[in-house]
Amino acid sequence: MIEAKGLTKRYGDSHAVQDLTFTVRPGVVTGFLGPNGAGKSTTMRMILGLDAPTRGSVSVNGKPYAAHRTPLREVGALLEARAVHPGRSAYHHLLALAQSNGIPRSRVREVIDAVGLDGVANRRAGRFSLGMQQRLGIATALLGDPRTLILDEPLNGLDTEGIRWVRGLLRDLAAEGRTVFVSSHLMTEMALTADHVVVIGRGRLIADTSLDRLVADSGHGSLEEAFLELTAGAAEFRTATTRGDDR
C-alpha cells in the first residue's frame, strides 16, 4: 500500500508536484498516467525517498521508505534502467544487491531466469541494449520478493514478447496480493494491464478511479481517448495535430 498525503515538490518557482493525495491499494495493478512533465517520476522518487517533499508525506507499507530496515524486501523499484555500474555483469549487480539486503544467493538466479537474461548474465551490463537493461531493472525490482512494486515506464525498449511478459507479470504480482504501481505512456498496454488509474497533469491529481469507470464516464470507447480529453488542459507539450491547428 502506498499513501500520499498533500505531496508537494517545488523546484525554484515551479511546482513539479502539487498537493497530491492518493492511495495505491494491494491486489490490483494501478496505472500512473500523465502527459510529459506531469510529475510522475518526481512522485515516484519521493515515494522511494530519493527526493524530499517540499510539503506533505508519503508512506509505503505503512512507513516512510527510509524507515524500512530491509527496503528491497518491502519495495521493488525500477526508476532508471541505466542506473547500473556499466563494468559489472548482470549477475554481479544483482548479487551485490542481494548480499547487502540479506537476500539468499539462490534468488539471483531465479530472477535472472524470470526476466529471460540467463544467456547474458555474465556479460557487462554497460553493453546491454535498452531492452536488456530494462529486463535487468525488472529483475532488480523483483529481487527482494517485495510486497510493493513501483515501476517507472517498465515497457521502454522491450520487444513484443517482453511487453506481453510484463503485462502477465504485473497482473500475476497483483493477483498475489501485492501493490503494483506502474507508469506508462502506452495507453493500449495500460488498458490491457491496469485495473485502477491515477492520472496527474501539471503536478495535480486529475483522476483516481477504476479504469473501467474512467473509460465509461468519458463516453469514449478507449483509454487513449479518455486520457487525451481528461488531460487536454494540463498538457504542456502538444503537437499541432492534437491541438487541432490543422483542422
Ligand X SMILES: Nc1ncnc2c1ncn2[C@@H]1O[C@H](COP(=O)(O)OP(=O)(O)OP(=O)(O)O)[C@@H](O)[C@H]1O
Which residues sit at the interface with ligand X, rule CB under 6 A? 11, 16, 34, 36-42
- Among residues 148 and 184, whose Cβ is nearest to ligand X? 184
Backbone CA torsion sign across 213, 215, 217, 221: negative
Could you write out the DSSP letters of every residue in 68-122?
-SSHHHHEEEES-TT-S-TTSBHHHHHHHHHHHTT--THHHHHHHHHTT-GGGTT
Burial 46-60 (b: 16+ CB within 10 A, else e): bbbbebebeebebbb
Least separation in angstroms between CB 3 and ligand X? 19
- Among residues 50 and 114, whose Cβ is nearest to ligand X? 50
Least separation in angstroms between CB 224 and ligand X? 16
Least separation in angstroms between CB 41 and ligand X? 3
Contact between 41 and 16 (Cβ < 8 Å): no
- Among residues 160 and 237, whose Cβ is nearest to ligand X? 237
- Among residues 11 and 212, whose Cβ is nearest to ligand X? 11
Count the helices and strands in the chain (H runs, E runs): 10, 9
- Among residues 12 and 244, whose Cβ is nearest to ligand X? 12
Using CA atoms, how far residue 78 sits from 89, 161, 224, in Å, is 18, 19, 24
Helix (H, G, I), strand (E, B) or coil at 128: coil
For β-strands 29-33 and 55-60, DSSP reports them as unpaired
Least separation in angstroms between CB 46 and ligand X? 10
- Among residues 39 and 71, whose Cβ is nearest to ligand X? 39
End-to-end CA distance of the chain: 45
Least separation in angstroms between CB 76 and ligand X? 19
Least separation in angstroms between CB 94 and ligand X? 26
Length of the chain counted residue by residue: 247
